[in-house]
Amino acid sequence: MLNQPFSSFDPRQKMLQPDFEIVHKWDTDLKDVELHHHDFYEVNFLISGDVTYVIESRVYRMRPGDMLIINPRELHQVYIKSNDTPYERYMLWISPSYLQQLSSGQTDLCRCFDMTRPHYGNLLYLSAEQKRTIPTMMESILQEQKQAAFGWDLLRQSRLTELMIHINRLADSSHITAEAKPSAASVVTQVIDYINSHYQEQLSLDMLAERFFVSKYHLSHEFNKQMGTGIYQYIQKKRLLIARQLMAQGQKPVEVYAACGFGDYPAFFRAFRKVYGLSPRAYVQSLGTNLHI
């Protein structure tokens, strides 16, 4: 018997724990979730609900028993098509550094999130047996945390390791990795792919419309309709996402802005502080790195 899920909407998009968090959630009136990204890996197992995920240029219509894996580099958002059926799911958030610690020289548990691996996809179709196994494993981790009996921390870690081995095996089975549902607004998909490959360059609505042979008004309308945000806002979020990752890897803020397509440092500084609530320098300091800034 699965545990009664937590049932109030929580808009939090940040981890409170340094290693990982797992929750069983149930919502009947989900608030709008803006296009966003995380600094951690995400696994989402759908139990019930009429849900569509937009991840970069891919649109996934989920069915109960489907599982999503999301990389920190991927902008994404969720649309609830109907509140007639509760949106119930297990959500797992994992720190990349912690998952790397759980890995071995032979087994990289981060592999399933590697966008460069063959047959990479976000949506995994599970067999009937796997649809029972995965949520049972997730629930067992939750129960260990809740009961906090002797050795619970070690069991919690070992069961997470086992879960991630299962997920990686699923991801490696290309025949069960779902393709994204084709989008009617194919030009939007092309534009997003172009932005993701050319974010370092000067980009504008006029330039993109000209390149893809559509009017800027049509492109702007279709982009907003599919993505729930404007082209300019999407470009900014993508550039800031990459900037955070480059700084986390040790690059200085004054070096990062140009590599991410910002025209000057003040523009980068203002955009970063507006979105994240702190300056690039403060962000680097919050990482606890030894970077000289």
Question: Could you tell me the residue ranges of all domains in the chain?
Answer: 20-176, 186-286
Range scoring the smallest mean pLDDT among 52-56, 178-182, 240-244: 178-182
Question: Rounded to 5, what percent of the chain is helix, strand, coil?
Answer: 45, 20, 40
For residues 116 and 133, what is the distance between their CA atoms, to the nearest angstrom? Answer: 28
Give residue 291's pLDDT: 44
pLDDT of amino acid 85: 84
Q: Is 22 helix (H, G, I), strand (E, B) or coil?
A: strand
Spelled out in words, what is the top-level CATH class assigned to the domain 186-286? mainly alpha
- The predicted pLDDT at position 13 comes to 63
Whether 179 contacts 59, CB under 8 Å: no
CATH class of 20-176: mainly beta
Residue 109 has pLDDT above 50, yes or no: yes
Find, among 228, 102, 210, 115, the residue nearest to 163 by Cα: 102
pLDDT at site 182:
45
Inform me whether the pLDDT recorded for 176 exceeds 80: no
